Amino acid sequence: MTHNRTNAEWLSDLNQKGVGQDKALEDLRAILLRAAQKTLNRYLGDLQTHYPDTADRLSEDCAQEALISILAHLQDFQGDSKFSTWAYKFAVNIALTTARRERRKYIPLELNKDGVETDDWLFLREDKPFPDPDLPALKQEIWRVIRDVIQDDLTQKQQEVLKLMVFDEVPMDEVVERLKTNRNAVYKLLHDARRKIKLQLIARGINLSDALIIFSEED
């Protein structure tokens, strides 16, 4: 019944006592665990050699934290979206925070000396499925903004680094070798390109958290 509950049924089941609530909690936790696993794999996949024994624990911890937070905020759910999508966002955001923390353990300090930040929202892929029929239009608008910024606002070097690292997923060391530069320069180019895109999305009224959810939506 995980995918068949209406918003009202989710709220009713989670608020009641007994077997119905237990089943709803089990189903909700499964959704949150998938969200956490997908997010952590997406943003920590290149670091798997550093944390193979902790990946499952991190996902479990994120799912549990998200479940607790959701139960504490059930009264805040307004029904503007699917309950599962609303809940999914909790797990994604918590997993992103966890991913940022884990990445800092393995990114050399010299790469951050200029205040370069990781803008997780930009790691969007066009091959993600869309279970909600209302989402494709917004997805298309987001990609239109990104394409416009890439074409009109980015320098040639920023375009090249963005394409190689974000869309083609070329490893950093290979990008450095191709461009005959250094890691700091590549990170700075990527950071500036991301920032320009982020500012334009905000200027168009696109919520960055919603953008992340759209491109990370569960199968």
pLDDT at res. 132: 44
- The Cα 167–Cα 35 span in angstroms is 22
* Percent of the chain predicted with pLDDT > 90: 23
- The Cα 117–Cα 188 span in angstroms is 9
pLDDT at res. 64: 94
pLDDT at res. 155: 92
Tokens standing for residue 158 = 């920023």
Q: Which residue has the tokens 């982020």?
A: 198
Confidence of residue 125 (pLDDT cuts 50, 70, 90): very low
**132-to-9, 104, 217 alpha-carbon distances in Å:** 18, 34, 9
pLDDT at res. 116: 44
**HSE of 199, CA atoms in CB hemisphere, 13 A:** 10
- The Cα 161–Cα 159 span in angstroms is 6
pLDDT digits 0-9 by tens, 46-64: 666 656 667 788 899 999 9
Position with higher pLDDT, 131 vs 142: 142
Position with higher pLDDT, 71 vs 137: 71
Tokens standing for residue 9 = 């049924």
Tokens standing for residue 214 = 């759209």
Tokens standing for residue 105 = 């353990």
Find out whether 71 and 14 touch, Cβ atoms under 8 Å: yes
Can you give the residue ranges of every domain in the chain? 7-106, 111-216
Position with higher pLDDT, 65 vs 127: 65
Average pLDDT, the chain: 77
Domain over 7-106 is classified CATH 3.30.70.1060: no
Confidence of residue 24 (pLDDT cuts 50, 70, 90): very high
Confidence of residue 137 (pLDDT cuts 50, 70, 90): low
Question: Is there a shared CATH topology between the 7-106 domain and the 111-216 domain?
Answer: no
**121-to-80, 95, 96, 166, 208 alpha-carbon distances in Å:** 22, 13, 10, 11, 7
| Fold of the domain spanning 111-216 | Arc Repressor Mutant, subunit A (1.10.10)
**Mean pLDDT value across residues 168-196:** 88
Q: Which residue has the tokens 């890439």?
A: 150
- The Cα 46–Cα 170 span in angstroms is 11
Confidence of residue 16 (pLDDT cuts 50, 70, 90): confident
Tokens standing for residue 136 = 């494709």
Whether 127 has a pLDDT exceeding 50, the answer reads no
pLDDT at res. 111: 40
pLDDT at res. 47: 63
Among the listed residues 131, 126, 66, the one whose alpha carbon sits nearest the alpha carbon of residue 96: 66
